[in-house]
Amino acid sequence: MDVTTVLRYDELLAAPWRNGLGTTREVASSPGEGEFHWRVSIAEIVAAAGFSAFEGVDRTLTMIDGDELRLDVAGAEHRLRVGDAARFDGEAAVEGTPVGGRVLALNLMNRRGRTTGSAQVVHLAAGDTLDADLVCALGPVELGDGVRLAAFDCALLDGPVRARSGGQVVRIDIAADSQVRS
């Protein structure tokens, strides 16, 4: 098995958040009926802003670039650095404040009752086998038959793939009723 689709960060279209207070680049999603069943995006946070509400959605936010992101999730404070993640309900009142400049955060959203998912940072060594639905590189990494990913590039996988070089990736696994597609 191998990489099926490479999604270059620089080629992903930036779009405003649902509430207009930030920007995001959609990586991949399963649309479902009118609303997505799951969605992966990369948000750029440049100033303190409230997050958009997503009713009926579980969110996992993994910081992938920047110094620090302070999250206030319904009154509970979280301090994220690269590789750290926070899980929260999409209905929660969330305020994000970047510390030390802009941050990038990978956002995995799963519609409750339709899909579940996980996102975790994995440190790969050359020769390691990775079995995931989707990976997003935190720096340069080479997978499969010479597929090179730069920082924040992502790849949809069709089964296990071997790392040809070391590097860090966010491994994303999704249990869904529908087929993974970009």
Q: Summarize pLDDT for 77-98 with one digit per residue, the tens.
A: 999 999 999 999 999 999 999 9
Domains of the chain in sequence order? 11-114 (2.60.120.10), 116-175 (2.60.120.10)
Q: How many residues does the chain have?
A: 182
8 A C-beta contact, residue 123 and residue 158 = no
- 33-81, pLDDT tens digit by residue? 568 999 999 999 999 999 999 999 999 999 999 999 999 999 999 999 9
The DSSP bridge partners found for residue 96 are 49, 71
As a whole number, mean pLDDT of residues 21-28 equals 91
pLDDT for res 131: 93
**Residue 26 scores a pLDDT above 60:** yes
Using a 10 angstrom Cβ sphere, with 0-12 exposed, 13-18 middle and 19 or more buried, the burial of residue 66 is: buried
Phi and psi for 117 in degrees, rounded to 5?
A: -160, 165
22 versus 162: the higher-pLDDT residue is 162
Q: What is the CA radius of gyration of the chain?
A: 16
Cα 34 to chain centroid, rounded: 22
8 A C-beta contact, residue 68 and residue 58 = no
- pLDDT band at residue 180 using 50, 70 and 90 as cut-offs: very low
pLDDT above 70: percentage of residues in the chain = 93
8 A C-beta contact, residue 158 and residue 4 = yes
Tell me the C-alpha to C-alpha distance, in Å, between residue 121 and each of 25, 62, 135, 152.
Answer: 20, 8, 9, 13
pLDDT for res 179: 45
